[in-house]
Amino acid sequence: MLGRFRDWFRKRKVHTPAEHSERIALLEIHLGFPILPQHVHLFTKALRHRSIVDNEKYEAHETYERLEFLGDAVLDLIVTEILFRAYPRENEGFLTKLRSKIVKGDTLSDLAKKLKLNEVLEVGHRSTGQGIELSKSVLADVYEAIIAAIYVSQGYDFTFRFVEANLNEFLDIKIIEKKVDNFKSLLMEYTQSEKAPLPEYRVISETGPGHDKTFSVAVYVSGKKLGTGKGKSKKEAEQVAAKDALEKLN
């Protein structure tokens, strides 16, 4: 299936506007390899945020979102293969949990920052200065889109080596392996051990523009507020609230 996706993208019309040459030149420096002229349109699209559609110059399918869809699948496969080789004695559950820690939004946004993708992201004029370039969810999406562009233009083996190099240079998988980040699960286990009702999460407030909201969440058990947390998504805020509750309980 991934092969069919790559073939389809390669048949798309090549469009290399002159105003993007500087952006692509910077991207080549950040990625560490040259981008051939026939592939510039792919990487240009991978850097184009959907706010660009507001200019009525591009359509929605000309943003990074379609490439992000493909890149998500490619990245999952590559990380799965890396972990499969690195942990020959571990079971499926261990590998699944570790993979989820690596391909989650926070980790991918950190990789995007390391590659300075925020410096070459293209946003609409009306959205300039609103902090889109610093949004964790946007940067994670852009990283996946770039992975798709590399896969379509260079093939699986090159993309595998690129991702593997990123993980080796910017992440410590052993630290990630031992990191506890599912505080909601731990809090649920605690309430079950105490024969208490399951935790209930409530959104207290939402602030910020649509593309960069901040959520405040409180967690309750038996009607009593145990913790609060903030995050760029409800899930992130819930994890912070659960961590806060666990720290207070301890």
Q: What is the CATH number of the domain that holds 124?
A: 1.10.1520.10
Are residues 190 and 96 both part of a single domain?
no
For 207-220, write each residue's pLDDT tens digit: 887 767 899 999 99
Judge if 109 and 188 occupy the same domain: no
| Per-residue model confidence (pLDDT) at position 12 | 43
pTM higher than 0.75 for the full model? no
pLDDT of residue 148: 98
- Predicted pLDDT of residue 21: 82
The DSSP result for 93-105, as a single string, is HHHHHHHHHHSSH
What's the confidence (pLDDT) of residue 56?
58
**Alpha-carbon dihedral of residues 80, 99, 64, 215, nearest 10 degrees?**
170
Please give the tally of structural domains in the chain: 2
Distance CA 125, CA 128 (A): 5
| Cα atoms in the Cβ-side hemisphere of radius 13 Å centred on 25 | 5
Q: Which positions are annotated as active-site residues?
A: 72, 144
Let me know whether 67 and 151 are in one domain: yes
Between helix 156-170 and helix 136-154 the angle, nearest 10°, is: 140
The radius of gyration computed from the CA coordinates of the chain, to the nearest angstrom, equals: 20
Output phi, psi for 108, to 5 deg: -65, -35
Q: Which domain holds residue 231?
A: 183-249
Residue spans of the chain under pLDDT 50: 5, 8-19
Q: How high is the pLDDT of residue 11?
A: 45
The whole-number pLDDT of residue 16 equals 43
Please indicate, yes or no, whether residues 149 and 131 belong to a single structural domain of this protein.
yes
**Closest listed residue to residue 225, CA positions, set 241, 210, 236, 207:** 241
Per residue in 88-107, pLDDT (tens digit) is 999 998 899 899 889 988 89
pLDDT of residue 106: 87
The 8-class DSSP code of residue 51 comes to G
